[in-house]
Structure 1
Amino acid sequence: MRTATVTTVDRSLLLSVDKESFRTIFGNAEGPLQAEFELRLLRESACLQHVLNHPLGMTSFRDFLLDEHAEENLDFVTAIISFQLDNANGSHIQTKAQVIFDKYVSEASQSQVNLPAKMVDEIKHVLGTKSAHLGLFLDARREIMQMMEQDNFSRYKQSRYFKAFKERLGIL
C-alpha cells in the first residue's frame, strides 16, 4: 500500500483506486482507455504508440502523414499488425505476406517504405522459399515505427493536428 499527501490549488476531487480495480479498469491491453489515460498523464512526453493506441490519435496522426505524403509508413505498420493477428493456414499467410511485400516493400511499389536493403533482401528470400511466417515483418515494423517516432512524430507534436487532438481530449 502506498500513501501520499495531496495539496491542490483549486477545488478538486481525488479518486483513490486500489491496484486490483486499476487493473480491472485499464487492464494490460493497450486499448483506447489506457491510451487516453497515458496521454493525459504524459502530455508532451507521450510517445507515438500512445497516440496510435487511441482511435482519435490514429486518425489525427494519419491526417498529419497525409499532409507530409508519408501515410504509407502508417499503412504498412497497420497491414503488419493485421497480418500478425491472422491465424490462418500457411498458404494464406504466404499470400498475405506477398501482398504486403508487393504493396509496401517492393522497389516497384507506389507506396514503398524506406527499409534497409538487407532487410528487403531477407524478406524477399523468405517469400521466395514460400516459408512466410507471422513474424516475417517484425524487424521491418520496428524499423518503420522507430523512423516515424524520430522523424514524423517529432514534427507531429509541433503541429496543429496534435494540438487539435489534445483539445478534443481536453488536454491542454
Structure 2
Amino acid sequence: MESITVIIETPKGSGHKYDYEPELKCFKLKKVLPVGMVFPFDFGFIPDTKGGDGDPLDVIVISEIATFPGCCMDCRVIGAIKVNQTERDGSTMRNDRYFVVPEVSQLFKEVNSLVQLPDGIITQLESFFKNYNEQAGKKFEILERVNAEEAYQMING
C-alpha cells in the first residue's frame, strides 16, 4: 500500500479542537474540551476525501512525534473503525476513523496493523471518541474494526 498524506488539525495533548476552514485557508478554534480531557494522539484529515459527514476523512496519527495544526506528513494506514455518529438533531451518518502511523516514526516503525499496537490503545481511543461525542450531545456507535487493507480500500474507494 502506498503512503497517504495527512494534515493535522489538533495535536496530541491539546485540550482544544481545531478545524481547517478551506474558505479562510486557516485553522479555526472549534471548541474547548472539558477540564482534563485532551486528544490522546494527533487528529487530522486526509485531503481531497469526503466522509459521511461531508468533511474530509478523519485520521488518528499513532506516533511519538510532537506536531502542530497544519503539519503535513506521509503515513501508512494500519486500520480503521467504522462508526455511526448520531447528531443532536437525531440524524445519523457514517463518520469512520482511520488509524495511521507516520513513515518517519521510530517507535511505531514496525507497526503495520491495529493488532500490532500495544494492548488497549484502540480501546482507549474508542472510549475517547465516545466520551468526546457524548460531551457534544452526540452518540458515537462503533460498528467494527477493520484491517489495514480494508481501511486503505475504504479511503481510495
User: Which bin holds the TM-score, normalised by the shorter protein?
Assistant: under 0.3
**Normalization by structure 1: what TM-score?**
0.26
Look at both structures and tell me which one has the larger radius of gyration over its CA atoms: 1
Greater strand share, structure number: 2
